[in-house]
Amino acid sequence: MRDFKSIESKWQKIWDSCDDFHAVNMSKKPKYYLLVEFPYPSAQGLHVGHLRSYVALDIVARKRRMQGYNVLYPMGWDAFGLPTENYAIKNNIHPRTVTEQNVKQFKKQLKSVGISFDWKREINTTSSNYYKWTQWIFSKLFEKGLATKEETTVNWCSSCKCVLANEEVVGGQCERCGADVTQKKKKQWILKITKYAQRLIDDLKLVDFPDRVKTQQTNWIGRSEGAKISFPTNVGEDLTIFTTLPETIFGVSHIIVAPEHKFIDKFKDKIKNIDEVLEYRKKVSKVKKEERTDANKAKTGVKILGITAKNPVNGKEVPVFVSDYVLVDHGTGVVMAVPAHDQRDFDFVQKYKIEFISVMQENPETGKMEMINSDFLNGLDVISARKKIIEYVSEKKIGEKHVSYKLRDWIFARQRYWGEPIPIINCEKCGPVLEKNLPLILPDIENFKTSENGESPLCLTDWIHTKCPKCGRDALRETDTMPQWAGSSWYFLRYLDPENDECLASKESINYWMPVDWYNGGMEHTTLHLLYSRFWHKFLYDIGVVNTPEPYKKRTSHGMILGNNNEKMSKSRGNVVNPNDVVEEYGADVIRLYEMFMGDFEKSAPWSDESIKGCKRFLDKYWNLKDIVSDEPNIRENFVSDFNKTIKKVGNDIENLKFNTAIASMMDLIGKIKDSGQITREELKIFTILLNLFAPHVTSEIWETMGFEGNINFVEWPNYDESLISSEFKEIVVQINGKVRDTFLIDSDLDDEELIKKSKEQPKIKELIKNKQITKEICARNKLVNLVIN
């Protein structure tokens, strides 16, 4: 019997005390840097979903070591964040204590599945020697003008008196107390990621990411070309609109300003119905952005009385409205409405009875859209009209071509305790000044609740009082902390040199290890973490800290593991699988194998308590191979060919994320070995190496028991003999009218003509084509013949 418990704990102890998985900087071997998203150490403990990612790259890591690489496969903790803070508040424990407990639990769990992480490089975003460098990067961003304070809106719960994360707002109400959530204005730190928008799109060319990740990022950044055009008003200040369809300007029926737009405040004396407008603004502040722009939602708005605008191309006077489907932080916060060619504008005018005209029509002769009712644009196609109108407005200095991005700047401040302090001192005279003494330590406090005015609890401490480094006067520290994304935006650099106190990582270590060769993570991080970290890396590249414009050479994504009812695992659904229980019942090797076998790695797959048994049986069969080792070569037909095929397939499949079929081919081979009842020592050795990547414990035990030479962790990855793979005979499929009717074997390649001739000679085919007219004969890749008959 395979006693997995004692085998696994034995090898885990050995790996813990040896340096096999420790990567050495500047080794002469070629480097290979494998990265998985480091976990947020939650109180729930490790999830089977974490393991899917970690085991997959553990397989690659073990393979690369056998292929002679110096492999870096590190692990750490992304430990700042809201859930820990909330847990701390609720249970009255310091978040640091909670974090320590959770990290301990996670680490124990990870070790129990035998993942070959380099534990000597463990990092933790909440330790001061780590966040010292997160703060340092912020300082550099501040120095370069990429970190500034700007007016933003936050979710505000007037009952809890605190700022809420989007996640904490459920159906427009506070998740905790159920009170209505409103939008409140607040000056906050933002990072100007939009300055990098174009490069973040362009440099996707440099990296090997799945297409779905690249398109998702490109669409998220959302480049659109259009024009800014100024509409003069009767109050002496222009309203500048942004449009992607400037050619439709002759069809403008009215102008819409976002309800929050400053223009309204500036000219409130001129607005006759200002009370109505402000009332509307108040109403809108309660509506979520997604709802505001929902195309199916009935359009609302208010006409601004007392202000009118003029269409700059034809001098026509147009009314001005406010409506919530125009967002203040998008484009210029003002749009021109063209109801004939925009559904939302059309819906709006239906309600407010505004007249409008069409400016495009299909030409009945050419079938193409062309301009009408548009003065000098008439008769032009859309593309030419766009070009011409942009030339026109530029010449008249009433507008210009403009590239707009959907990407918004990154709000980089949270009114929370459990995050990196922003190293800024607010001096009344000097404004915001950098704290030079890093790390700026997060002080220990006892009450983690936000204060009554919605500021971080840090504002209630003495810690905030300091002197301005510039002028020496009394000044206050910034009390907002960084968002949880900060630490994870550069962590892959800290692994290279985790103890360094002089810089975030030494130049040599960066030059040696970067870029990350293979980064695996979840699709859910495509547009936030993955983009943020690319942004930070590009910034570090610009200031000469790193040597590559992109941090990750290759990115892959794993699918989610669902509960056995095919739904997302969650406590409330009661379908959570605890890895501890599985390891206890079946062992680490089985859970590793099963998670890789359960389905296509890139797609989601439901957990099955039944299916996992197949993986246990497979390992039992493997364990028993040692009893049938023989000196005689296996005489089963095609055995050598099958064996070589398996070596090839396992190797290739791993590179292509096809772990499931790699395992299937090993299962297939073990069936063949068992059928023949024998295996040679050498064959068992090779099989053991292949399986070691997936099931390292049991294979290490067999390696030792059988007395195979060398350290299995560094044994040479087996080669296969291509000439032994192709079997002597090739099967040719014969179809008639696309349906398979017969097959036959050939022992050497034939040309198409001979193949067709031979196909027709097959007795069954001969019978079927008797007295029939053959109208077409197709021969494909020396593999298939198709005869088309009437």
Partner RNA sequence: GCUGGUAUGGCGGAAUAGGUAGACGCAAGGGACUUAAAAUCCCUCGGUAGCGAUGCCGUAUCGGUUCAAGUCCGAUUACCAGCACCA
**Which CB, 56 or 712, lies closer to RNA?**
56
The tokens describing 87, both together, are: 């847990």
Q: Residue 395: name the closest of 335, 312, 337 by CA.
A: 312
> Alpha-carbon distance 653 to 657, whole Å?
6
Residue 335 beta carbon to RNA: minimum distance, rounded to whole angstroms? 3
| Shortest reach from residue 231's CB to RNA, in Å | 13
Which is closer to RNA, CB of 460 or CB of 528? 528
At 504, list the tokens.
């975030």
**In what helix (H) or strand (E) does residue 440 lie, and over which residues does it extend?**
none
> Both tokens of residue 744?
């036959």
Angle between helices 659-676 and 588-597 (to 10 degrees): 110
Work out how close the CB of 496 gets to RNA at its nearest, in angstroms, rounded to a whole number.
27
Residue closer to RNA (CB basis): 316 or 613: 613
CA distance 129 to 503: 11
Which CB sits closer to RNA, 535 or 703?
535
Distance from the first to the final alpha carbon of the chain: 64
The Cα–Cα gap between 772 and 767 comes to: 10
Least distance from C-beta 33 to RNA, angstroms?
Answer: 26
Of 33, 27, 38, which Cα lies nearest the Cα of 61? 33
d(CA 758, CA 531): 59
Closest approach of RNA to the CB of residue 494, in Å: 24
Shortest distance (Å) from residue 410 CB to RNA: 7
Residue number with CB closer to RNA (293 or 506): 293
Nearer to RNA, 508 or 753 (CB): 753
Nearer to RNA, 290 or 709 (CB): 290
Identity of residue 677: G
Which one, of 738, 790, 734, lies nearest residue 764 by Cα?
A: 734
Residue with tokens 């739904």: 567
Residue 490 Cβ vs RNA, minimum distance, rounded to whole Å? 18
> Judging by DSSP bridges, how do beta strands 181-191 and 605-606 pair with one another?
unpaired
Q: How far is the CB of 746 from RNA (least distance, A)?
A: 12
Q: What residues have CB less than 8 Å from 436, skipping those under 6 apart?
A: 469
Which residue's CB is nearer to RNA, number 244 or number 711?
244
Hey, how many other C-beta atoms are within 10 angstroms of the C-beta on 723?
Answer: 8
Those residues with Cβ within 8 angstroms of residue 598's Cβ, 6 or more apart along the chain or in another chain: 561, 605, 607, 608, 611, 660
CB of 365 to RNA, least distance (A): 24
Give the nearest distance from C-beta 138 to RNA in angstroms: 18
Interacting residues of 285 by C-beta distance below 8 A, sequence separation 6+: 153, 182, 183, 260
Could you write out the three-class secondary structure of 110-167? HHCCCCCCCHHHCEECCCHHHHHHHHHHHHHHHHCCCEEEEEEEEEEECCCCEEECHH
Alpha carbons 272 and 293: distance in angstroms, whole number: 28
Q: Which is nearer to RNA, 169 or 640 (CB)?
A: 169
Q: What is the DSSP code (8-state) at residue 309?
A: E
Here the tokens at position 535 are 């942004």
8 Å CB contact between 495 and 470: no
What minimum distance in Å lies between the beta carbon of 386 and RNA? 11
Give the nearest distance from C-beta 227 to RNA in angstroms: 8
Smaller CB separation from RNA, 310 or 406: 406
Q: Distance between CA atoms of 461 and 468, rounded to whole angstroms?
A: 18
Q: Which is nearer to RNA, 504 or 590 (CB)?
A: 590
Computed on alpha carbons and rounded to an integer, the radius of gyration of the chain in Å comes to: 33
CB of 249 to RNA, least distance (A): 11
3-state secondary structure (DSSP) of residue 286: coil
Helices (H), 248-405: 262-266, 274-284, 289-292, 343-352, 382-395
Q: Which residue's CB is nearer to RNA, number 217 or number 509?
A: 217
Please, which residue, 212 or 316, has the CB nearer to RNA? 212
Of residues 26 and 780, the one with the C-beta less far from RNA: 780
- We find the least distance from the C-beta atom of residue 344 to RNA, in angstroms, to be 6
Question: What is the spatial distance between Cα 360 and Cα 365, in angstroms, rounded to a whole number?
Answer: 15
